[in-house]
């Protein structure tokens, strides 16, 4: 049986990390037996979440986990789409993982009111004397990463503009379809749901959720994906 190391339910979401949401959907789509375990970032291979252990083999990075499920377990995440549509799907996934990811980090970690009610809770497991030091160190690294990536250099209105462009693009690509690429589920949906659900969550103070909810197709999409993959609410961590 595969052991899946994710973050667990938080912020009204199946996982705090959109990559963990993506990975659990892929595991369910693959039809493999797995059990969930709470990950400790201090023990994370490559210092990232999530990861899986499959018969002693550690696989990190949600993209490599997807590849492992395809190669080792014969999973097919293509949804039966042709190469052109799958190419669009790959571009959509990278829009989420390499763009919306940074917006999400900026919104949760560097807005003081959101940090206090959300990510700050992750540090409660640490000894009280160490919390301020480690918290400050993590925030400093994130500020540097966001500045280097570019999101950290933008004004709030500029960030809102970029999110609106991305959300509208996702809505327009999906159109009237049930899933992102058409009438059938594909691996792209695991990624898109993870990031859209994280962006839409009303747990945090953000203008982004309303942008998602303003597109009826995306709103319906989030509802039926949640019903399909995470129908049973679990206690928050």
Tell me how far CA of residue 159 lies from CA of 20, 139, 152, in angstroms: 24, 19, 9
Q: What's residue 135's pLDDT?
A: 94
Residues in the chain predicted with pLDDT less than 50, given as ranges, are: 235-237
Give the Cα separation of 144 and 17 in Å (integer): 20
Q: What's residue 233's pLDDT?
A: 60
**Superfamily name with CATH number, domain 2-73:** Glutaredoxin (3.40.30.10)
Q: What is the DSSP letter of 98?
A: I
Q: What's residue 47's pLDDT?
A: 85
CATH among 1.20.1050.10, 1.10.443.10, 3.30.300.30, 1.10.15.40 for 83-229: 1.20.1050.10
Q: Where are the domains of the chain?
A: 2-73, 83-229
Q: What's residue 235's pLDDT?
A: 47
Q: Which residues 6+ apart lie within 8 Å of 76 measured at CB?
A: 70
Q: What percent of the chain has pLDDT over 70?
A: 98
Rounded to two decimals, what is the model's pTM? 0.94
């Amino acid at each position: 049986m595969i052991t899946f190391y994710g973050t667990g339910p938080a912020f009204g979401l199946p996982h705090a990390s959109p990559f963990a949401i993506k990975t659990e959907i892929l595991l369910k789509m693959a039809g493999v037996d797995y059990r969930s375990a709470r990950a400790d970032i201090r023990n994370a291979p490559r210092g990232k979440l999530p990861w899986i252990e499959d018969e002693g083999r550690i696989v990190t990075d949600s993209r490599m986990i997807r590849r492992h499920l395809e190669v080792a377990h014969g999973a097919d995440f293509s949804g039966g789409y042709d190469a052109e549509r799958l190419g669009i799907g790959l571009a959509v996934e990278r829009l989420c993982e390499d763009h919306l990811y940074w917006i999400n980090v900026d919104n949760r970690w560097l807005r003081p009111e959101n940090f206090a009610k959300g990510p700050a809770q992750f540090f409660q497991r640490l000894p009280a004397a160490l919390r301020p030091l480690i918290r400050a160190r993590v925030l400093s690294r994130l500020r540097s990463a966001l500045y280097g990536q570019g999101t950290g250099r933008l004004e709030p209105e500029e960030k809102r503009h970029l999110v609106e462009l991305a959300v509208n693009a996702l809505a327009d690509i999906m159109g009237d379809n049930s899933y992102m690429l058409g009438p059938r589920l594909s691996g792209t949906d695991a990624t898109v749901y993870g990031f859209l659900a994280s962006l839409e969550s009303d747990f945090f103070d953000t203008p982004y959720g309303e942008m998602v909810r303003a597109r009826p197709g995306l709103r319906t999409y989030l509802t039926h994906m949640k019903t399909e993959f995470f129908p049973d609410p679990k206690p928050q961590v």
